[in-house]
Amino acid sequence: MHENMHMSLYELHKYGLPNKYRVIPRKKCDRCSGEDGKVKQGYLTKDEAHSTAQMIHVKEGKVLRVYKCEYGGWHLTKAL
């Protein structure tokens, strides 16, 4: 998986996605980490997190769920 999950215009066209999927995660969460111990990526809005989850699903086939961080912002996690 790419660190910033940014898609080029070519990739947007290739996957048939609108420009709204050009999402760049905004910040690392300084309080949350994943199962692997890595710092979780934070998203400022639910829509930004949801768009990123959809892009990852199309690009990598992974199904992710959006959830609210107890410290502010939003995160992605594996779907149950």
Is residue 20 over pLDDT 90?
no
pLDDT top residue among 79 and 24: 79
Choose among 17, 19, 27, 23: nearest CA to 72: 27
Label residue 43 exposed, middle or buried (CB < 10 Å: 0-12, 13-18, 19+).
Answer: buried
Cβ proximity of 79 and 62 under 8 Å: no
The answer to whether the pTM exceeds 0.75 is no
Domain boundaries along the sequence of the chain: 9-78
pLDDT tens digit sequence for 24-74: 556 788 889 988 998 998 888 888 888 888 888 888 899 999 999 999 999
